[in-house]
Amino acid sequence: MGAPPPVVSETLRDYGSLVRDAVRAYLPPVEPRRYLYDLVADYPGRGGKMMRPSLCIAVARALGAPLDHLLIAAATSIELMHNAMLVHDDIEDESDLRRGKPTLHTLWGVAMAINAGDALVIRSLRPLLAAAAHTDPRLALRIIEETEHMARESAEGQALELGWRADNVVSLEERDYFEMVLKKTCWLATIHPVRMGALIAVAGDVDPAAFVRFGFFLGAAFQIQDDVLNLVSDEAVYGKDSDGDLREGKRTLMIIRLLQLADADERARLIAHLGTPLRDRRGDDVRWIRARMDHHGCIAYASQVARGMADAALAEYTRLFASVPPSRDRAFLEGLIAWVVERTS
Amino acid sequence: MGAPPPVVSETLRDYGSLVRDAVRAYLPPVEPRRYLYDLVADYPGRGGKMMRPSLCIAVARALGAPLDHLLIAAATSIELMHNAMLVHDDIEDESDLRRGKPTLHTLWGVAMAINAGDALVIRSLRPLLAAAAHTDPRLALRIIEETEHMARESAEGQALELGWRADNVVSLEERDYFEMVLKKTCWLATIHPVRMGALIAVAGDVDPAAFVRFGFFLGAAFQIQDDVLNLVSDEAVYGKDSDGDLREGKRTLMIIRLLQLADADERARLIAHLGTPLRDRRGDDVRWIRARMDHHGCIAYASQVARGMADAALAEYTRLFASVPPSRDRAFLEGLIAWVVERTS
């Protein structure tokens, strides 16, 4: 798998711009601004890669759907839901930075940020309800049901990750990690956008289960690369706290690998760090963990697993889209598979 | 307005029991239990007055609807959404007790409680989506849209209340209070249940705006009585922190009244208390505020306003239901108006 072709960044830019405008229309500066709607509009206004909505649009168009009101509404809803989840995730993970700026709860306090996240979750249904007026109502209900399903899977994945940290679970295997990533990351990042695109293209006459494997492989590759970037990126480029995952005690593939390869002393120190309350964790522990990861080749290993996932995604993609005629959207989808593991931010 | 007739408690018991069983069916003990679904099922399992779902069912039946799958689904969705909002409200208000037990975040930490609240919000859509399969899909979409509207109003009301506390706003008038209560309390507690019941009874052919005034008067009476009970009830009966509102600095009608009637010294001390971070507030300040409220007759005043709101609700009810034949459900609705201000828990 080589470097991603230019069509990837061009499509992310073009569909991203389209969806960003649509998102803005659903976040008007109405009252109460100071305590709610300025907060609700904050994260969506900070930009973002726009991978999720672009994926939805590209799948639908590759399968023959027009770029119509319903498709843009679905992509807009996905982007709003993604931002809503970021707000609550940042509180739950006690993250300080998001897209290069302080997180919403850092700026406004936990209480107002929780409420703004709630408002944004609910807001993400609005494009779907607005589009429903011009759509087969059964299809509209199916799309809302897809959204409910995705949000449920995401909450289950987040619960696993939070619970592992709260209980300081260290007996994790790779299959536990992949179950968590399937739920926490893949449903919203890849499976849901792909299924929504397919549902819209064929007006509901599709088995969305066919897209779960493709979405899982693509999303897992994306998440592992995200976790790698958290360790190896410049904060200025990455936009989140560098090494924040180590500080937060996040159960990444690299941490699970390190727990497996560490000797008894290393393992004891690592478990003690992970069991320390977040605010009491020491920077030199974080640097030490990072050094042990390098020693045991954990980051290189994770990058290799991510590339394996991308290869599997490509195989699924090839099977799923075998009879779909070539198009710019097809080229984007194929290129995106390389992009998720080659990107540097 | 006299004591509430027995039909009120009987109906709350009967419809409440029906809805409680339906709620339970939507909260099965599936995995991940320890980190999510045990938390999600906690508040709904603690009981509650079941006023909201009972109101929805009674309005629909009084207007001629059968007690069918759709109506029970709507009532179930309302009760789930109510519980979901309690989870996040309790975090935002830093409340310690809910229905006589520790709040969810006190038991499990803020992170897992936020996530459980999110899962419960999403779960509240499930009964509506399940019922949609056997319903006119346009009516199902309209009901989901009502739910989205209600949640939006609730978030706006919560934002006002949180913002007033965060900024220590003390220049509030009664009309500010009533705008906040309209959004924060009335939409979920009364307006939404009444509108949902009416929508179902007439299969969408109704102007739900007609029910906003009735719901507002009833909900405002309910909220003021709730705030009064926070001051005058036994904690064991009430199930929340006694005087918790004073500690939290909640802008109740009594606090607004006290700010208006207080002399300069009293006002300064009250404003200083309200501006102190929650964890640093002193118990003797709380007792002093309570004594000044008694001195200025603030609680008696609020009770009088609540009764005025109940009278207004009765007048609206009489107008709205003038042509509706007598029934047990009509008697419940009329009795409920007295109940909201006469109840002691």
User: Exposed, middle or buried: residue B279 (CB in 10 Å: 0-12, 13-18, 19+)?
Assistant: exposed
pLDDT in tens, A158-204: 999 999 999 999 999 999 999 999 999 999 999 999 999 999 998 66
Question: What was the pLDDT predicted at A283?
Answer: 81
Among B35, B126, B166, beta carbon nearest to A148:
B126
Helix (H) or strand (E) holding A303: helix A298-320
* Rounded Cα distance, A78 and B152, in Å: 18
B35 and A163 within 8 Å at the Cβ level: the answer is yes
Average pLDDT over residues A228-249: 79
Q: Is the pLDDT of residue A130 over 90?
A: yes
Residues of B in contact with A119 (CB under 8 A): 152, 155-156, 159
Is A2 within 8 Å of chain B by CB? no
Q: Is the pLDDT of residue A206 over 80?
A: no
* Rounded Cα distance, A308 and A174, in Å: 14
Average pLDDT over residues A242-247: 82
Residues of A in contact with B163 (CB under 8 A): 32, 34-36, 112
pLDDT in tens, B214-230: 999 999 999 999 999 99
pLDDT in tens, A80-126: 999 999 999 999 999 999 999 999 999 999 999 999 999 999 999 99
For the beta carbon of residue B295, count every other beta carbon within 10 angstroms: 12
For A140, name the nearest residue in chain B, comparing CA atoms only. Answer: B141
Mean pLDDT over all residues of chain A?
Answer: 94
Q: Which two tokens stand for residue A91?
A: 């509180």
Is B210 within 8 Å of chain A by CB? no
Closest CA to A37 of A49, A24, A18: A24
Contacts 24+ apart (CB under 8 A), B46-51: B46/B98, B46/B99, B46/B100, B46/B101, B47/B20, B47/B99, B48/B79, B48/B82, B48/B83, B48/B99, B49/B12, B49/B16, B50/B12, B50/B15, B50/B16, B50/B19, B50/B20, B50/B79, B51/B12, B51/B189, B51/B222, B51/B336, B51/B340
Residues of A in contact with B134 (CB under 8 A): none
Closest CA to B66 of B337, B329, B341, B345: B329
B163 and A34 within 8 Å at the Cβ level: the answer is yes
Question: What was the pLDDT predicted at A204?
Answer: 60
Residues of A in contact with B118 (CB under 8 A): 88, 121, 151, 155
Residues of A in contact with B138 (CB under 8 A): 137
Is A91 within 8 Å of chain B by CB? yes
- Considering the segment(s) B6-342 as one domain, its CATH architecture is Orthogonal Bundle (1.10)
Residue A43 · residue A103 · CB < 8 Å? no
Strand partners for B98: B101
Is A33 within 8 Å of chain B by CB? no
List all residues of chain A from 163 to 182 with a beta carbon under 8 Å from chain B: 163, 166
Residues of B in contact with A120 (CB under 8 A): none
Average pLDDT over residues A63-87: 97
Question: What was the pLDDT predicted at B208?
Answer: 72
Is A282 within 8 Å of chain B by CB? no
Residues of B in contact with A92 (CB under 8 A): 110-112, 114-115
* Rounded Cα distance, B290 and A41, in Å: 40
Question: What was the pLDDT predicted at A235?
Answer: 66
pLDDT in tens, B280-316: 888 888 999 999 999 999 999 999 999 999 999 999 9
Question: What was the pLDDT predicted at A238?
Answer: 63
- Secondary structure letter of residue A97 according to DSSP: E
**Which residues neighbour B161 within 8 Å (Cβ) at sequence distance 6 or greater?**
B180, B184, B250, B251
Is A202 within 8 Å of chain B by CB? no
Question: What was the pLDDT predicted at A205?
Answer: 62
- Secondary structure letter of residue A190 according to DSSP: I
Question: What was the pLDDT predicted at B65?
Answer: 96
pLDDT interval class at A248 (50, 70, 90): confident
* Rounded Cα distance, B278 and A143, in Å: 43
Question: What was the pLDDT predicted at B236?
Answer: 64
**Which residues neighbour B73 within 8 Å (Cβ) at sequence distance 6 or greater?**
B22, B127, B128, B130, B131
User: Exposed, middle or buried: residue B217 (CB in 10 Å: 0-12, 13-18, 19+)?
Assistant: buried
Q: Is the pLDDT of residue A35 over 90?
A: yes
Among A94, A129, A159, beta carbon nearest to B32:
A159
Strand partners for A97: A102
- Between A280 and B93, residue with greater pLDDT: B93
* Rounded Cα distance, B219 and B213, in Å: 10
Q: Which residues of chain B are under the pLDDT cut of 50? A: none
- Between A282 and A68, residue with greater pLDDT: A68
